[in-house]
Amino acid sequence: MTEPIENHKNSVKTVVVPAAGLGTRFLPATKRVPKELLPVVDTPGIELIAEEAAQLGASRLAIITAPQKSDVLAHFEAYPELVNTLRERGKLDQLRKVERAEKLIDAVPVKQDQPLGLGHAVGLAEAVLDDDEDVVAVMLPDDIVMPMGVMDEMARLRAEKGGSVLCAFEVPHDEVSNYGVFDVEECGEDTVRKVVGMVEKPDADEAPSNFVATGRYLLDRSIFDALRRITPGKGGELQLTDAIELLIEEGHPVHIVIHDGKRHDLGNPGGFIRACVDFGLDHPEYGPGLKRAIKEMLAERESKKRRG
Ligand code: G1P
**What pLDDT, on the 0 to 100 scale, is given for residue 308?**
77
Mutate to test the pocket of ligand 1, among 179, 181, 195, 254 (most ligand atoms within 8 A of CB): 179
Which of 1-15, 82-96, 190-204, 240-254 is least confident?
1-15
**What pLDDT, on the 0 to 100 scale, is given for residue 68?**
85
Considering only CA atoms, which residue is closest to atom 5 of ligand 1? 179
* DSSP-derived pairing of the beta strands 14-18 and 106-111: unpaired
The mean pLDDT value for 148-173 works out to 96
Distance 180 CA to ligand 1 centre (A): 6
Q: Model confidence over 42-71: pLDDT tens digits? A: 999 999 999 999 999 999 999 999 988 889
Q: What is the DSSP string of 225-249?
A: HHHHH----GGGS--HHHHHHHHHH
| Cα distance between residue 166 and residue 245, in whole Å | 13
Q: Which residues, in sequence order, are CB contacts of 47 under 8 Å at separation 6+? A: 75, 100, 101, 104
State whether residue 77 is helix, strand or coil.
Answer: coil
Q: Which atom of ligand 1 is nearest to the CA of 118?
A: 8
Distance 54 CA to ligand 1 centre (A): 23
Distance 287 CA to ligand 1 centre (A): 31
| Cα distance between residue 259 and residue 190, in whole Å | 11
| Cα distance between residue 83 and residue 52, in whole Å | 25
Q: What mean pLDDT is reported for the chain? A: 96
* Residue 163 pLDDT exceeds 90: yes
Q: Model confidence over 260-303: pLDDT tens digits? A: 999 999 999 999 999 999 999 999 999 999 999 999 999 999 99
**What pLDDT, on the 0 to 100 scale, is given for residue 290?**
98
CB 167 within 8 A of CB 213: yes
Decide which of 208 and 115 is more confident: 208
**What pLDDT, on the 0 to 100 scale, is given for residue 67?**
86
Considering only CA atoms, which residue is closest to atom 8 of ligand 1? 180
Mutate to test the pocket of ligand 1, among 140, 143, 166, 167 (most ligand atoms within 8 A of CB): 140
Q: In Å, what is the CA distance from 96 to each residue of 79, 86, 91, 190, 278? A: 12, 10, 9, 42, 24
* Residue 1 pLDDT exceeds 90: no
Distance 178 CA to ligand 1 centre (A): 7
What residues flank ligand 1, with Cβ below 6 Å?
118, 140, 142-143, 179-180, 200, 212-215, 240-241
Q: Model confidence over 170-213: pLDDT tens digits? A: 999 999 999 999 999 999 899 999 999 999 999 999 999 999 99
Cis peptide leading into residue 80 (ω within 30°): no
**What pLDDT, on the 0 to 100 scale, is given for residue 101?**
97
What are the φ and ψ backbone dihedral angles of 36, each rounded to 5 degrees? Answer: -70, -10
Closest CA to 165 of 222, 216, 122, 117: 216
Percentage of residues in the chain with pLDDT exceeding 70? 100
**What pLDDT, on the 0 to 100 scale, is given for residue 2?**
81
